[in-house]
Amino acid sequence: MKKDIFLSILSGLLLILSFPNCNLWILAWFGFVPLFFALQSKSKLRAFFLAYLTGIIFWWGLIYWLVHVTFIGTFVLILYLALYFGIFGLVVSQFYLLPTTYYLLLLPSSWVLLEYIRAHLFTGFPWALLGYSQYLNLPVIQIADITGVWGVSFLVMMVNVVIYCIISHPYSIVTEKRKYLLTLLCILITFIYGYYKMLGIQVASQELGSVKTCVIQGNIPQELKWDSKNNDFIINKYINLTVQTAKDKPDLIIWPEAALPCVLEETPVFYEKVKEFAKRIKTPLVLGAVIAKDENYYNSALFISSEGKLLNRYDKLHLVPFGEYIPLKQILPFLETIVPIGDITAGKKYTVFTHETQPVTHNTINFSVLICFEDLFPELSRQFVKKGANFLVNITNDAWYKKSSAPFQHLQASVFRAVENRVYLARAANTGVSGFILPTGKIISLVQDESSRKIFVDGFATQYIFMPEWPLSFYTRYGDILPFVCLLFIIYSKIITFKNKR
């Protein structure tokens, strides 16, 4: 039993190391192997708890930073998220009932389906999906424009299964060649497709129109952000940083989420100051602000023109549960005591901002803004791009989580949204990570100091964003097909299992 516990813990540690800050993504390709050995010939109950232990280790090592917001909430969330590992352990414990060619696909299908459920159940928590571990492995993640991040998760899990089979049954390399050839073929196709797309997109981008864009990283500590005594300091800091970059005459400047340190309607003097500033530098400005309207508050992105006029506004669609609102507030009022809750109302409209960058060239830009963790939800980005956005912007404030791996884990999601939809993505984060992501997922032009620190430093970054003219990607058009294919395969496997039992 001690050996099984050790193997379960080892899997959790290997998976932790494959994510930021370590970024040892190669470990994810065999991180589940120790757990598979621990689950050999185990009862359903024991398999559940061994896998559940792996889940607890993994999630505690990954979202430890949430304790800066709520200790009790972090503990409860870890116990909940580990359930998906436990359920996966139940599936693994039963795979011996199936022919070997089935469980090669069954286990990846089961994992992808569990991730998909986690991404949607109870408003969804698609953080640290297995595929996200590969965000720096550019050739592999290119398949996301067909399968979404789910395809990368599937492939990584498939390799885990094959490695386990080779180690536990070496003779199967000879007796079950078809199974291993299938995996090798999937990997080969993935790399060929990846390099092909990376080369094609790089060549195409050189021929497209561009928008010179600047992101500002203000680095405002969370404890100062909503103290009215610091309003002048915060606004002036953003203005001073913007003045420096305005000398390069960008077409668009982006400030982070809630850069305006007050409710707009309650303290209009600061809003007027920002509009006058945009007019003075003659550059369009996007910034985050809290809006009060009809007795409701909205977490919004404002698009201010170079004439100092409000062109458009986007209200955040997908709110953070227990952060911006309380689920089941009327039924469970005690939840207000667990974490500091905002009182934000969700928006209702997918907004695409449109503006001509220069009167002479009439270069029209169409883009949409993802606020905070909205970039975790692929369906939001898909809808924005389908409605006409040529590139995406993510404005966020990860200062809550102090100097931790949280901002870099958040960055992983943005990488996949860029690849899935084949668009540029600009990030403006209060304390980092701010910069740009190419349609291939390559991260460029990050805000950093002389020692290469990327979080809790202030600064700005400027980059040309090329306007894509290629057709919508397969994933943008059709969405999450792979999880439903996985579901159909699992149902088919259940039928096979039933027949084998008989």
Query: Residue 3 catalytic?
Result: no
Q: Which residue type is seen at 289?
A: A
Decide: 132 and 62 in contact? Cβ < 8 Å: no
Residue 345 has what pLDDT? 93
Find the catalytic residue in 257, 324, 374, 420: 257
Decide: 290 and 300 in contact? Cβ < 8 Å: yes
Residue 310 has what pLDDT? 96
| Winning range, highest mean pLDDT, from 243-257, 324-338, 344-358 | 243-257
Q: What is the mean pLDDT of the chain?
A: 92
- Mean of pLDDT values over 222-250: 92
| Winning range, highest mean pLDDT, from 100-114, 224-238, 262-276, 415-429 | 415-429
CA 35 to chain centre: 26
Residue 332's pLDDT band (cuts 50, 70, 90)? low
| Residue whose C-alpha is closest to residue 150's, from 426, 473, 414, 485 | 485
Residue 436 β-bridge partners: 426, 444
pLDDT above 50 for 443 = yes
User: Which residue shows structure tokens 């049954």?
Assistant: 169
pLDDT above 50 for 339 = no
Residue 20 has what pLDDT? 97
pLDDT above 80 for 209 = no
pLDDT above 60 for 405 = yes
Residue 312 β-bridge partners: 303
Residue 171 has what pLDDT? 79
Residue 493 has what pLDDT? 84
Those residues whose C-beta lies under 8 Å from the C-beta of residue 174, and which sit 6 or more positions away, are none
Q: Where are the domains of the chain?
A: 2-203+480-501, 209-468
CA angle 231–236–240, rounded 5-degree value: 160
Residue 360 has what pLDDT? 45
Decide: 288 and 256 in contact? Cβ < 8 Å: yes
Instruction: Out of 89-93, 304-308, 467-471, pick the least confident.
Output: 467-471
Query: Residue 316 catalytic?
Result: yes
pLDDT above 60 for 441 = yes
Task: Please tell me whether residue 311 adopts helix, strand or coil conformation.
Answer: strand
Residue 328's pLDDT band (cuts 50, 70, 90)? low
pLDDT tens profile 42-99: 999 999 999 999 999 999 999 999 999 889 989 999 999 999 999 999 999 987 666 6
Q: How large is the angle between the packed helices 177-205 and 100-118, nearest 10 degrees?
A: 40
**Residue 247 vs residue 50, higher pLDDT:** 50
Query: Residue 486 catalytic?
Result: no
To the question of domain 209-468 being in CATH 3.60.110.10, the answer is: yes
Residue 357 has what pLDDT? 65
Find the catalytic residue in 179, 225, 316, 454: 316
Task: Please tell me whether residue 296 adopts helix, strand or coil conformation.
Answer: strand
CA gap 422, 407 in Å, rounded: 23
Residue 325 β-bridge partners: 321
With a pLDDT cut of 70, the percent of the chain lying above it is 93
| Residue whose C-alpha is closest to residue 253's, from 266, 243, 261, 263 | 243
Residue 358's pLDDT band (cuts 50, 70, 90)? low
Residue 202's pLDDT band (cuts 50, 70, 90)? confident
- Mean of pLDDT values over 383-410: 96
**Residue 181 vs residue 176, higher pLDDT:** 181
CA distances from 395 to 18, 253, 407, 434 (A): 26, 12, 12, 9
Q: Is the dihedral of CA 24, 74, 381, 284 positive or negative?
A: negative
Q: Which DSSP string corresponds to 191-253?
A: HHHHHHHHHHHHHHHTTS-EEEEEEEE----HHHHT-GGGHHHHHHHHHHHHHHHHTT--SEE
Those residues whose C-beta lies under 8 Å from the C-beta of residue 201, and which sit 6 or more positions away, are 422, 438, 439, 440
Find the catalytic residue in 372, 420, 454, 486: 372
pLDDT above 60 for 373 = yes
- Mean of pLDDT values over 204-216: 78
